[in-house]
Amino acid sequence: MNGVHDMGGMQDMGPIQKEKNEPVFHHPWEGRVFAMYRATGAWRKWNIDAARYARELIPPADYLRMSYYEKWYEGLVSLLTERSLVTRAEVDSGRPAHGSSKLTPPLTPKELLDSVAKGAPAKRDVPVPARFQRGQSIRARNINPVGHTRLPRYARGKVGTIDRDYGVFVFPDSNALFLGENPQHVYSVRFSARELWGEQAKPQDTVYLSMWDDYLEPA
């Protein structure tokens, strides 16, 4: 989706506001949102790509206005309701609907910490052939899907070079929509800054993107 989340290359967003001795969470509720998102993810009703897509679907003006964890709250409520863990009425009331079923038990503290320590690898050990080789010239496809994609607008149609093959990974465009993992190779692709931005960029500068096979065509 050509949404406002796809920010690479936009200008005039203002100065970068650094904060000295920044706390991990600025308010207790931010930590609660973060933790609830991780803990409810354990029910496996969605995946990381669907979670990113849920945040991308926040209306653009709101996306720009909301703080980071306000967006996470919005995304979490979308996931919880759309994947039927809770209803919208329950979110509104803060109480389980009368007679509603419970999915219990939740993860214990140890189980939750173990799951975070273990991580959730997106790499898949499946024999998928690589379509491109190191050193090969590629062009990022000019695609404009209305769903989720990790191919930023600023790279579409641009020519780069395969620098490295990272292996086979879950494909977010299909996974976010629960259409399957469609595992395929991800490459580190080098673009010259001039190819992306024209003469105003320094000729020596580069931008590297991680790109799935389906985003690329031979150049």
Partner 1 sequence: MKTTRRDFLTTAATAAGAAATGNLAHAQDHESGHSHAHQVVPSDPALRVKSLESLLVEKGLVDRAALDALIDTYEHKVGPRNGAQVVARAWADPAYKQRLLMDADKAIAELGYGGMQGEHMVVVENTPTVHNMVVCTLCSCYPWPVLGLPPVWYKSAPYRSRSVIDPRGVLREFGTEISEDVEVRVWDSTAEVRYLVLPERPSGAEGLTEDALAALVTRDSMIGVARVLPRREGGAA
Q: Which of residues 27-66 bind partner 1 (CB under 8 A)?
A: 27-29, 31-36, 38-40, 43, 48, 52, 55, 59, 62, 64-66
Q: Considering the rule CB under 8 A, would residue 103 count as an interface residue with partner 1? A: yes
Stretch that binds partner 1, among 71-79, 126-134, 176-184 (CB under 8 A): 71-79
| Six-digit token string for 71 | 């967006």
Among residues 57, 82, 83, 90, the one that binds partner 1 under rule CB under 8 A: 90
Q: Considering the rule CB under 8 A, would residue 17 count as an interface residue with partner 1? A: yes
Residue 65 sits at φ, ψ, to 5 deg, of -85, -35
The answer to whether 85 and 77 are in contact (CB under 8 A) is: no
Q: Considering the rule CB under 8 A, would residue 125 count as an interface residue with partner 1? A: no
CB of 129 to partner 1, least distance (A): 19
Among residues 160, 161, 169, 184, the one that binds partner 1 under rule CB under 8 A: 169
Is the C-alpha dihedral spanning 29, 30, 36, 37 positive or negative?
positive
DSSP assigned state of 115: H
Q: Looking only at residues 175 through 214 of this chain, which bind partner 1 when binding is defined by CB under 8 A?
A: 186, 188, 193, 196-197, 201-202, 204-212
CB of 135 to partner 1, least distance (A): 17
| Six-digit token string for 86 | 């809770």
**What spatial distance separates the first Cα and last Cα of the chain, rounded to whole Å?**
24
Residues whose CB is less than 8 angstroms from the CB of residue 120 and which lie 6 or more positions away in sequence, other chains included: 48
